[in-house]
Chain A
C-alpha cells in the first residue's frame, strides 16, 4: 500500500514539475517559438471607468422650450456601455408657489456608442406646454432634472 501511495505521490510531483515544461524550447531543431502575451483587463478593473458630465443649470427663456447636453467619457469592458436616464424631478416653481409643469426628455437613447468614448455629447430637451406660460405671473421659476448613470450590457 505504501508503495502505491509513494508511486502516486511521485506521479503528482512529476506533473507539478512538468508545468514549466509547457514553455516552448528553442533548439537547433526548433529555432522559433511563440509566447502569448495576455492582459486580463477584467480582473481587478471590473467594468471599467466612466464619467458623465451634466450641466449644473439650464436657463430657459420665457415662452420657449430649451435644450442642453450631457457628455459621456468611458473606458469599459468589451460589450459594456454607459446608460444615462433623466427625468424631471421638480416642476418649475416660483417663490410664490406658482408652478409651470415641464417635461425633460433625452433626445438620444442615452446609451454611449462604444466601450471607449471621450466627451460623447447627448442632447436633452425641456418642453413646456405653450398654454402653461399664459397661466402664471412673470417671476423667477426654478425646477430640477435628475440624472442617473450606470453601466449596462450593449
Chain B
C-alpha cells in the first residue's frame, strides 16, 4: 500500500513539474504561435449579483380599483440565469386603519416577474409592476379612514 501511495505521489509531483512545459516554442522552422487568454467569470464571480428596487410606500387614492406598484431590477449574472421576483401580502390581503378597527380587503395581480436577460445595466433597469386591486364593493362598504397594508417582495435567481 505504501508503495502504491508513493508511486501515486511521485506521479502527482511529476505532473506538477510538467506545468511549465506547456509553453510554446517558436523558431525559424515555425515562427508563429498562439496563446490562449482565459477568463473564468463563474470561478471569480459566482452566480453574480442583482438589485431589485422597490418603493417604500405606495399611495392608493380613494376609490381606485387598480393601482400599480412599480419596481426595477438590474443585474449581472451567470449566462442563462435570471432574476425572479414574486410579491405576496404580509397582512392576509387586508389593510387596516391606524386604530385597527376598520378593514379594507384587496387582492394582487401580476405578482411574479422574471427578467428577460442575465445582464441588465443599472443605467437601464428593467421595470415591472404588481397591481393592487380593490373592488368597488370594498370601497363602498369601507368607512373613510387611512388604511395601511404591507406587500412582501421576494427576489431570487432562476434559469
Contacts and interface: CB of A to CB of B under 8 A. Distances in A.
A144 B39 contact: no
Contacts of B33: 52, 54, 146-147
Interface in B94-135: 118-119, 121
Contacts of A56: 22-24, 35-36
Counting chain A CB atoms within 10 Å of each CB, the highest count among B27, B46, B119 belongs to B27
Contact of A137 (B37, B46, B81): B81
A47 to B, nearest CB: 8
B26 A52 contact: yes
B35 to A, nearest CB: 5
Say what secondary structure dominates the interface of chain B. Answer: strand
Interface centre among B34, B46, B48 (most CB of A within 10 A): B34
Interface in A50-85: 50-63, 66, 68, 84
Interface string B46-71: 11100000000000000000000000
A106 interface: no
Nearest to B42: A138
Q: Is the interface of A mostly helix, strand, loop or mixed?
A: strand
A137 B118 CA distance: 6
A150 B37 contact: no
A60 B79 contact: no
A58 B35 contact: yes
Interface size class of B (residues with CB under 8 A): 20 to 34
A137 B76 contact: yes
B83 to A, nearest CB: 12
B37 to A, nearest CB: 4
A51 to B, nearest CB: 5
A54 B32 CA distance: 10
Interface of A: 47, 49-63, 66, 68, 84, 89, 92, 94-96, 98, 100, 102, 104, 126, 134-151
Given A54-B35, A60-B38, A149-B32, 19 more contacts: A49-B28, A52-B25, A53-B26, A54-B23, A56-B24, A57-B22, A58-B37, A62-B39, A62-B45, A92-B39, A134-B119, A137-B119, A138-B47, A140-B42, A141-B40, A145-B34, A147-B33, A147-B35, A149-B31
